Chain A
């Protein structure tokens, strides 16, 4: 990184001497800004930690511990967004007994900012999901589920834009095909639309029209399907779109050892992250913004 600093300083120096521009016009832009994205996926109603003698995940996870970690990061970082990539519901008796009320209340206590819908969030029907929404103090986004003829019409929106310290962050949601995965009597009139086409529209709207500094996709499409490489997944999504900076995934319960980097349609790098399931991990992505000229381009992806 030393070399890069040197070049940047040199570049600034040249501009000052030769361009003769007044420095005052640069003064109102701070040198750097930081944004921290924290994320979970497929928590599946796992509120308590796994038992000490659990053969797979002994003493791992737990909402009350996750909350402590999140609070710790919030104290250290000025701009934090907390996201979930779907399948909040189903997996422990908390859901069978209380229908998702606890999950939403706890996520609200942790101050989740945004969530997308997974297939299991339809497990008590679209009406069962709707019934729990008063307990959620955060929004849901899904761009490729058309809810026009359902109770979620106008409630679950395609995207949401957050402004943090002047940074504009556009986040849209994508859901997996429900047919064959969820009974039609549960998702009712929800229409599934092609995620790739929708993502192309969304990323253009957010990056070009809305001029977002960052575009994030909250996806419940699944990371990759080894037996069906053409099946729509986060990898396929990254390759066939542009203007998406980060894909936060879910559905396949993929425990990536570190975030994955894929090339998009323009040959630019896109980070994809998914942190397994059951609240065993928290994902953390730190974005650094530095003062510079637009045409310089280029950024470092560290995993």
Chain B
């Protein structure tokens, strides 16, 4: 497609101008001017040969990492993809990550603080890849969670549980969520809220597992700043998933809805 300005008319006028005033007006100095811009994208495919100097530079690093990462830990019967939502408000990969994080955090928190985790909230943007159907390795954990984020527990009051629900309703994103059920109206406002199957009580303390990124104000989850207490569990989220994959044979495909909107 060619998009061009109406230069033809101005050119014609210019010719006319020169014709009329020719003898009296010296033409302006000629310069180099930008007359066209042509843009496109070129897909990088196997049609382009491998530049050997780059490949041989990378090779020793690649081999070291591969030895570390490629042993098979678990099996995924389906591709879990964050871009494919269930009812618009959750994804199989988000459900898995939230459920696993809640379960793992609960074990550590119970051992250390003798208390349970009530909710896990992560962020949709933090899921950086799919879990492809087939073998799951430590590399998979690196791909879905490349960040060096660690597991944090924030003790929040019931009021902030409502803020979480309102935040999710406003964001309209399938943020990974476990332990909480949000019921939305057709218009998208929160009409019911439950934590661990029970109505939320004002003033009651709820322990929410999340990442240090979100706890520190990432994705504008400002309710985390209202925590009455925070616990750094000193456990990288990626290592949490690697540990989970190691003890799991087949990854579950979790389709339960945590955020339900009236139709």
Query: Which residue of A has the minimal Cβ distance to B6?
Result: A298
Chain A: minimal CB distance from B93 (Å): 13
A149 at the interface (CB under 8 A from B): no
Q: Are A183 and B36 in contact (CB under 8 A)?
A: no
Chain B interface size range: 35 or more
Q: Are A18 and B143 in contact (CB under 8 A)?
A: no
Q: Are A297 and B3 in contact (CB under 8 A)?
A: no
Interface segment, one of B25-33, B174-182, B186-194: B25-33
Q: Are A285 and B34 in contact (CB under 8 A)?
A: no
Contact A296/B14 with A66-B48, A92-B143 known, Cβ cut-off 8 Å: yes
A68 at the interface (CB under 8 A from B): yes
A15 at the interface (CB under 8 A from B): yes
Chain A positions within 8 Å of B54 at CB level:
63-64, 67, 106, 109-110
Q: Are A56 and B130 in contact (CB under 8 A)?
A: yes
Chain A positions within 8 Å of B212 at CB level:
183
Contact with B along A34-68 (1 / 0, CB 8 A): 00000000000101110001111001111111111
Q: Are A60 and B34 in contact (CB under 8 A)?
A: no
Q: Are B218 and A180 in contact (CB under 8 A)?
A: yes
> B26, B37, B212 — which one has the most chain A CB atoms within 10 A of its CB?
B37
Interface segment, one of A19-27, A152-160, A231-239: A19-27
B254 at the interface (CB under 8 A from A): no
Chain A positions within 8 Å of B27 at CB level:
15, 19, 21, 293
Chain B positions within 8 Å of A29 at CB level:
30-32
Bound Cα distance from A59 to B46, whole angstroms = 7
Q: Which of A65, A90, A258, A271 contacts B50 (CB 8 A)?
A: A65
Interface of B, secondary structure class, is: mixed
Bound Cα distance from A53 to B8, whole angstroms = 52
Bound Cα distance from A171 to B255, whole angstroms = 48
Q: Are B33 and A296 in contact (CB under 8 A)?
A: yes
Contact with A along B193-236 (1 / 0, CB 8 A): 00000000000000000001100111110000000000000000
Chain B positions within 8 Å of A181 at CB level:
218-219
Contact with B along A271-303 (1 / 0, CB 8 A): 101011001111111111111111111111111
Chain A: minimal CB distance from B170 (Å): 10
How many pairs of residues, A versus B, come closer than 8 Å at their CB atoms? 280
B167 at the interface (CB under 8 A from A): no
Q: Which of B25, B26, B41, B69 contacts A93 (CB 8 A)?
A: B69
Q: Are A281 and B143 in contact (CB under 8 A)?
A: no
Chain A positions within 8 Å of B11 at CB level:
4, 7-8, 11, 296, 298
Contact A69/B48 with A90-B147, A269-B5, A284-B42 known, Cβ cut-off 8 Å: yes
Contact A299/B216 with A62-B44, A65-B46, A97-B65 known, Cβ cut-off 8 Å: no
Query: Which residue of B has the minimal Cβ distance to A293?
Result: B28
Chain B positions within 8 Å of A284 at CB level:
39-42
> B19, B58, B134, B213 — which one has the most chain A CB atoms within 10 A of its CB?
B58
Give the 5 A-B CB pairs with smallest separation, nearest first.
Answer: A18-B22, A298-B7, A259-B39, A67-B51, A65-B48
Q: What are 19 A-B contacts with C-beta separation under 8 Å? A: A55-B81, A63-B58, A66-B48, A93-B65, A93-B142, A180-B217, A227-B172, A258-B1, A261-B3, A281-B42, A285-B38, A286-B36, A291-B30, A293-B30, A295-B14, A296-B14, A298-B10, A302-B1, A303-B3
Given A293-B31, A294-B28; 7 other pairs, CB 8 A cutoff: A55-B81, A60-B45, A105-B57, A180-B218, A245-B34, A281-B42, A300-B5
Point out residues on B near A: beta carbons under 8 Å.
Answer: 1-8, 10-12, 14-15, 18-19, 22-23, 25-46, 48-55, 57-58, 61-62, 64-65, 68-69, 79, 81, 128, 130, 132-134, 139, 142-143, 146-148, 172, 212-213, 216-220
